[in-house]
Structure 1
């Protein structure tokens, strides 16, 4: 077989790989990755081999590593092994084993490539890409998911992305390239991708033998539109500013973007914040966009994973990590206590601004803590108890102001909330304060 029988791979190599720089090929020992290693060497690249043992398949995984090592030694190709406890990483991060394995594998590849000053090449081919597009479609995705994999994504190059699995099998046979088989690849129930490859794509080929090629071609066409949306999102993000530990963008600027661009802007904000995109799905993006489009001056919030928060107020859309909840703390007589934006001091009599309370009964202590929005206060002269949340709304307190309010508890019961009032149960008898909590803004 002539090398030109993989013309699309040659073209991608010429476009994305620099022959003056070493190439690190990720090799599992399977047919595709062994073809990649052989092909890159035949193309004249200074190629090294990286193999990662995921510690998931016992003796078979050790067999794969030994096979790749031995072949590289025979062919004079530098071999770099890596390993990691995928199951432990999955437990520690809450990810699936597939996700955890990818994390560890890519970290190893990048670390090794950095050590060698090398480019990274992976063996994904056209059929892999068709499977990726279908899998994303079934699981639910946006335009980016329908674009599948790209020949170059960041520091990763995929020279075989334009070649079919069948073409690589033919190439391997023509050049007597050995490989090992992962027995789980033949089990349609082992992974969703296996099911697509073994059960779904064969049926699609019955409708059209070139179904994978057409799926991959459509994905390539969509990348043009995806790139345009990314550019529009990046243009809007150029107006964002770091503010109060978060990233803030003018609400007018956000709303001026097309509705299909707005979710991209949010994802870029998440990237800039360090939150990342993995746990932000279509549901969250749509909800935030709806809040932004609602209009009105009232503050709006949406909670994201990892303690992040989107706040829409004062003409801005801000994404930030929520501050840690303020602790519950005991007030000690005549000892000032810094708490949030306030300093609280328990006194015998009124002195400045603060809250007057009845005398604590035996065993009762006075504490300060964040207010429970669902807790209720019976205020003097009110027609029944009202929730803290309702009282905040009545007094037109913003969500930020509400979250900062110190609540006083006597014997574990809500006695008063600063700026809202004191429950009648805890008012001083006869109008004379038996104790006083002075509250000074800091």
Structure 2
């Protein structure tokens, strides 16, 4: 195993030489084997150990074991303790999910710098178990390719080594390790697959693990190929319209094969389970919306507009008691200025002009709300602002940022859109409010 590891280092991990290496170490045989291999190949590494406080005294003894091991081998050690059960209850997740979230959040704090890497001791059997877990839960092609060797700054050097190879190496080198008794409990799906399903399948076919590993590699190659095609499609057809905003022709997108569409939409966090709903969205009418966790998709005739969802705090209404007044909000800047004459004014949607004499300060500036109405310039009756925005073809994304000015309970202007007939200016007006919107 050592020679195979050395060969792997030479072919796959030559860049280790100039990196700061951290090892996620539990004290079990897998992570202890990886540490032993690193020491045998003169790779300095820092040990990171999590105490999840799940196994009473055994958890504390694991931590002591790692501290002593680090001291004996002159390896830096960092440990941390978690109240894993409390975290799981608070966040309504399983113990396994809680432990994973806690440890990787902590691990990431060590590898934030570009020259740092984290090693984990996942091996071939772990990858095979993950294949079956994903298969049982339902997954994409990518989910059937097992655990990747690389994941950004996380590297798994043992991913092509079997559990049998690790056990043989442990015996040959008399490696001392800690045994987690929970690994033998079949109440966990992974353990059930490990102890019951895989051994049964091994009796049905010769070299089952080897063949499955080859199949997973083939699936991985297929996944990478589709990923490359999706990237080519993205570069060719998606148009960047603003920061974190894109557009694409609806028909171009809808004509793609579903497997390619799945990969095309990955950057926008659309899950495979959402594809059916997304396809229905593509067939819907103008103005229809679709939401992923991070993006808003809007259908504008034959164009799909895509905007990243900015989770900002709601805009708080502001009082305007004197002029000039300036407001900066998100990517907007609204300025109210007093003019002493209406001479030379050109009437447009931006800037807007109001008769200051007809207003009663203070004014209120706020975002528009459902049911808001205004009497637009030149009209006898009032009109819903929502209808005005539809007439102006304001997108759903931009609608959220529209501000109105109110004089007591009356809306006097929709910023950047229109003013109220009641507050229009004439040639005799010598006191004017200019409302300028900059995006």
- TM-score, normalised on structure 2? 0.70
> How far off its partner does 1:417 sit?
4.5
Pair 109,257 (structure 1): closer, same or farther in 2 beyond 3 Å: farther
Work out whether 1:282 is the aligned partner of 2:279: no
Q: Which residue of 1 aligns with 2:310?
A: 322
Residue in 2 aligned with 1:37? Answer: 35
Aligned to 2:349: none
Match 1:224 to one of 216, 221, 224: 221
CA distance in 1, matches of 2:24, 2:319: 58
Deviation at 1:228, TM superposition (A): 0.8
1:133–1:215 CA contact under 8 A, matched in 2:
no
Give, in angstroms, the shift of residue 196 of structure 1: 4.1
**1:33-72 equivalences in 2 (<5 Å):** 33-42=31-40, 44-48=41-45, 50-57=47-54, 59-72=57-70
Q: Deviations over 1:237-270 (max 9, x none)?
A: 44567653225365489738654334434434x5
Deviations along 1:168-208, one digit per CA (max 9) or x if unpaired, are: 2243234322211224333444x553454456545655666
Match of 1:397 among 382, 391, 394: 394
SS at match of 1:50: strand
The alpha-carbon distance between structure 1 residues 121 and 439, as it changes in their structure 2 partners (threshold 3 A), is closer
Distance 1:156 1:15 in 2: 17
- 1:53 partner SS: strand
Which whole-Å CA distance do the structure 2 matches of 1:348 and 1:333 have between them? 15
Structure 2 SS opposite 1:162: coil
What's 1:107 paired with? 108
Contact 1:50/1:79 (<8 A) preserved: yes
2:231 pairs, out of 229, 234, 238, with 234
CA distance, structure 2, for counterparts of residue 439 and residue 134 of structure 1:
62
Structure 1 Cα separation of the partners of residues 101 and 399 of structure 2: 40
- In the other structure, the counterpart of 1:15 is 11
**Residue 335 of structure 2 contacts residue 435 of structure 2 at CA under 8 Å; is this kept in 1?**
yes
SS at structure 1 position matched to 2:259: coil
1:147 positional shift: 1.2
Structure 1 residues 332-341 or 153-162, which shifts more? 332-341
Name the SS of the counterpart of 2:364 in structure 1. Answer: strand
The two structures, once aligned, show a CA RMSD in angstroms of: 5.0
Q: Quick one: distance in 1 between partners of 2:388 and 2:114?
A: 59
Instruction: Select which of 320, 327, 336 maps to 1:331.
Output: 320
- Aligned twin of 1:133: 131
Cα–Cα, structure 1 residues 396 and 67, in superposed 2: closer, same or farther, change >3 Å? closer
- Residue aligned with 2:400, SS: helix
1:304-319, aligned counterparts within 5 Å? 304-305=292-293, 308-310=295-297, 317-319=305-307
Mapped to 2, the partners of 1:198 and 1:315 lie a distance apart of 52
The alpha-carbon distance between structure 1 residues 342 and 198, as it changes in their structure 2 partners (threshold 3 A), is same
Check whether the contact 2:239–2:248 (CA below 8 A) recurs between aligned residues: no
Count of aligned pairs between the two proteins = 411
CA contact (8 A) 1:19 1:45 kept: no
Task: State the alpha-carbon separation in 1 of the partners of residues 77 and 195 from structure 2.
Answer: 32
CA distance in 1 between partners of 2:69 and 2:100 (Å): 29
Rounded to whole Å, the distance in 2 between the matches of 1:369 and 1:348 is: 26
Q: Is the 8 A contact 1:249 1:316 kept in 2?
A: yes
SS of the aligned residue for 2:176 comes to: coil
Q: For residues 102 and 309 of structure 1, do their structure 2 counterparts lie closer, same or farther at Cα, with a shift above 3 Å needed?
A: farther
TM-score by length of 1: 0.70
Q: For residues 47-95 of structure 1, what are the alpha-carbon distances to aligned partners after superposition, in whole Å with 9 as ceiling and x for unaligned? A: 5352322443464333213223434544x45343343657598899998
Task: Show structure 2 runs of 5+ residues with no match.
Answer: 346-351, 424-428
Question: Match of 1:407?
Answer: 404
For the residue of structure 1 that corresponds to 2:179, the secondary structure is: coil
Q: Deviations over 1:83-126 (max 9, x none)?
A: 365759889999852342342353256369946xxx65432122
For the residue of structure 2 that corresponds to 1:367, the secondary structure is strand
Correspondence for 2:266: 267
Q: Tell me the distance in 2 between the aligned counterparts of 1:73 and 1:158.
A: 24
Q: Which runs of 5+ in 1 are unaligned?
A: 271-276
How far is the alpha carbon of 1:14 from its aligned partner? Answer: 4.4
Distance (whole Å) between structure 2 residues aligned to residue 72 and residue 402 of structure 1: 59
Q: Distance in 2 between matches of 1:412 and 1:186?
A: 70
The 1:416/1:53 distance shift into structure 2, 3 A limit, reads same
Q: CA contact under 8 A between 2:375 and 2:422: conserved in structure 1? A: no
8 Å CA contact 1:333, 1:347 repeated in 2: no
Judging changes above 3 Å, is the alpha-carbon distance between structure 1 residues 412 and 90 closer, same or farther for their aligned structure 2 residues? farther
